[in-house]
Amino acid sequence: MQRPAWGADVTRTAVLALIGAQGPVSRAELARSLKVSAALVTQLTRQLIADNLLEELDSVPSQGGRPARLLGLTSSASNAIGVKVAADHVALVEVQIDGDVVHKEGGLSVVKIAIDPVWHLPGIAERFGASEMGLRRALFEQTGGMYPELVTRLDLQVFLPPIGGTTVYIFGDVDKLTDAKTRITCRVHDECNGSDVFGSDMCTCRPYLIHGIEECARGAQEGGLGIIVYNRKEGRALGEVTKFLVYNARKRQKGGDTAATYFHRTECVAGTEDARFQEFMPDCLHFFGIRKIHNLHSMSNMKYDAIVNSGIEVVNRISIPDSLIPKDAMVEMEAKKAAGYFTKEAPKSKEALKKVHGRQIDE
């Protein structure tokens, strides 16, 4: 079926959002609550019923005498919808139920894979063109001497680095992984507990992840594969303590939170803008035999470069739809675009970045 245009038909979305939030309502109630004409409600609900998103339920007595029909979200339809209503935007997620990838009760079929990093030191040294002893010494020093065995037990070739692991969710038939003809949709996501789990609106992490999951499910339904790679690299691998210090510094700085100072604030607190090391990130894609990603849902140049430089072809780079970006996250989004992250539009000038403001500390 035709997918509704994002952000283009807010009233149509508002109808779904209202019913999603309140349960079945009559057309008259819809018109009253949305402050639109009865004729428009009739027209919109007719379309939504035709699209199998709404259905007519039982009649209830109305004041005017004729019983009013209640409209509810479809329970037996071929589509599932999720509606998120935030203070500044309404987002609609729509997926087809096929009973294979997406189930009627809203579940998704996936294959879950958990990976812990285990480094074979001679192999890692070879990949970086370094000597094994040089690598051992660097790791020993950069971890504050916590792992003396790195330099005292040369017989131990394997090291468990003190970094987070990876979770992979695969949508679709895993037997197709090594088939070069399989269209692969992929989101490589770095953990952001504040947004992913707790729904903070200061960044786009959760909307990006959810959008990636939706597109992976859609890709699998179309006969391809979807892959979500979730890496524990909280706060650009600087950790959540650093991240919260940066958030505080951003909100409390003179002039407020602006896109112009977004990266600078991180550097002031942490000494670097970003501590992520993406060179090993594509390893898990290679474990699965992937040679080509058709749709890569990421704006990050570090991720894109690491994937392409590891020998995997990327056909399309896809950024998050504007309608999914929370208002307060525009600071992050515009700063990233200006810093060279992938975008189809021209990034804002330095002066324009100063005008992209986030919420005040007391708002």
Residues annotated catalytic, as ranges = 274, 276
Using alpha carbons, list the distances in angstroms from residue 129 to 91, 123, 125, 135, 317. Answer: 48, 10, 6, 10, 30
Nearer to Zn ion, 166 or 195 (CB): 195
166 binds Zn ion (CB under 5 A): no
**Nearest approach, Cβ of 97 to Zn ion (angstroms)?**
30
Tell me the C-alpha distance between 58 and 77, whole Å.
17
17 binds Zn ion (CB under 5 A): no
Nearer to Zn ion, 71 or 331 (CB): 331
Name the residue with tokens 């992050």.
332
**Nearest approach, Cβ of 246 to Zn ion (angstroms)?**
11
Nearer to Zn ion, 56 or 267 (CB): 267
Which positions ≥6 away from 263 have C-beta within 8 Å?
273, 335, 339
**Nearest approach, Cβ of 257 to Zn ion (angstroms)?**
14
Tell me how many residues contact Zn ion (CB under 5 A). Answer: 4
Rg (CA), the chain: 24
Site mask for Zn ion (CB under 5 A), range 128-157, x = bound: ------------------------------
Pairing mode, if any, of strands 292-297 and 111-115? Answer: unpaired
Among 30, 48, 54, 205, binds Zn ion (CB under 5 A): 205
**Nearest approach, Cβ of 204 to Zn ion (angstroms)?**
7
Determine how many CB atoms are found less than 10 A away from the CB of residue 42. 12
Tell me the β-bridge partners of 92. Answer: 83
Tell me the C-alpha distance between 253 and 354, whole Å.
13
Tell me the C-alpha distance between 336 and 187, whole Å.
18
Would you state the structure tokens that stand for residue 308, as one six-digit string?
Answer: 């392409």
Nearer to Zn ion, 128 or 244 (CB): 244
Binders of Zn ion among residues 185 to 204 (CB under 5 A) are 192, 195, 203
Tell me the C-alpha distance between 171 and 215, whole Å.
10
**Nearest approach, Cβ of 60 to Zn ion (angstroms)?**
44
Tell me the C-alpha distance between 16 and 84, whole Å.
10
Nearer to Zn ion, 195 or 295 (CB): 195
Would you state the structure tokens that stand for residue 343, as one six-digit string?
Answer: 């975008």
Q: Which residues bind Zn ion (CB under 5 A)?
A: 192, 195, 203, 205
